[in-house]
Structure 1
Amino acid sequence: MALRPGHEAVVRVAVATLWSRPEAVRPVDAPALARRTDIPGWVSGLTAEQRVGDCVLSQLLLGERVLVEEVRPDGWARLIAVEQPAARLDPRGYPGWLPVDQLTEPADAVAPHPALVVAATTTTLHATPGGPVVLPGVVLGTRLAGAGPVRAGWRPVRVAGHDGPLWVADAEVTVAPTGSPRPTEVLAVASRLRDVVYLWGGVSAYGIDCSGLVHLAWRRFGVRLPRDAGDQAAATSPVPLGDERPGDLYFFARPGRPVHHIGIVTTRPGGDRRMLHACYTQRRVLEEALPAERAATLVGVHRVLR
């Protein structure tokens, strides 16, 4: 497609990686740059140190909207990820760079069918019910536009960049919720990502960081929290330490420094403080009691109020 600055586009791959700049990509990043991305293959090919480089800013899911700012002749687009609030960086959303081939024009609006969201950790989209795979690696929290009734356990969905419907297993999607989820429901979704590897900027079931885990878990329920931990702190409501409940959020900062880490509370008031988080030092998502070094930097507990 011919992207135009000032116009919206949408992500056409299962998971697109948002880069700090085109020149920051490394040879090992090729699977994440392709027209048909291979995010699990990319993440598995990275060393532990390569997974925490600052070249990756965030990730965008299939169908996510962006505002195009600039298109370069070498096939890169500078854009704003408008569905990932980032007030400290840009009031419109998260800025960064994507390959043009991973974007397409938004789909035209059609007669309404139930909006769907991927409830499985990962799923695939097929050309026909149970037929050839068109889009592998579609992840939890991805929004899909319903395109008709269920047929033999398969749902048709509309995907931008594809002329006809694609098909997803009905058991792996659910009607997109419209009400406010219970924090424990969000915690249950986040807990399914336990042992996913730590990936700086990651927002998927293949690799994720601390604020990405929180963003994605709430996104599954249609709640658009900011992308970064500091903005998440600003967008949520503090509660007194000692009154935290499962599903609340712990925030961490060193003296005189901004918030640098976030975790999801897993224990009830009165017990030892525990959290589920994407841990930089252990390079994976885990649930644990707060180690001494974490407890020393705990600056507050917040609640998502809707």
Structure 2
Amino acid sequence: MNISLKKTIKLLALLILFVTITGCTTKPVFSNADQSLSNQHQGTAPKTETINETLPAKVTNIPSNPAVEYEPAWPDRAVKSSRGHLVNSCVPDELRDQATTLTTSDGVYLSALVLGSGNKGVLLAHEQGYSICSFLDMGTELADNGYLVIIPEYRNHGASQKIELNEHIELDAEVALNELKRMGAKRVFLAGASCGGTTAIVAGVRQELPIEGLIILSSPAQCSNLDAIPSVKKIKAPSLFVFSPGDYGGSIEKHVRQLYQESGATDKELIVDESGYHGTDMYHRGQDGNVLKTRLIDFVKKEFK
């Protein structure tokens, strides 16, 4: 082997070593507890949460709630913002000062993000076992399009409070909707994944602001102590229901179809996503995920003007 060839091989080896050391990978985030979707979905395997890179939303509306000291559900994921609020470490540094602390009607402390500003409020409610960042990419895009967005992190999740029993999760959606109203929202749009969607329906009809639309991703009709059927009948606003065949052995399809059929909306659509994923993973991990996410955001912008 001549000297020139040896030098070339050596340079290639150094280049490969440099790329290996400096290259970045995205690690999946796992929940620290096995959360069931509903009373009929027990013993499911822990989920893997895929978090897409997110461009920071404009910081225009800093929440004013005081910071509170409490034990977070996932202490290894909880950090403090410069204002002293606990927030999930998955939230980019640029957005951590948008974190606030909410107190539910049963006395539980929640970490939440408030993005954007204005009087058009949007609730994005993540699924059980996942985190505040499940909807972060969608939330920042909506905030940049003129919406006041709140993403609560549910009890026993992430930087929200650790409590003994994971009950009354509808109160987490309720306090988030109350915060939107306190910050100036005059109308609301409800969106949620899995049990987050169930809570959005139940809490949404309890509050006083007009509902402008509903997005449901893989949500069971019944979750824990909640039954969303009586509530979804009362929602007349345009509604979008999305599921993937085979999700939870096909039981999620039955639930979402039931919500769709019982919906009080005349303008409603049922979307079958072929990815095989559940909740926000349909657009985070599905082959055509970006198409689905764009469709969801366009639906909000079309129906909520």
- TM, length-normalised to structure 1: 0.27
Higher-Rg member (1/2): 2
Structure whose residues are more often helix by fraction: 2
Which protein is richer in strand relative to its size?
A: 1
Task: Tell me the TM-score normalised to structure 2 length.
Answer: 0.27
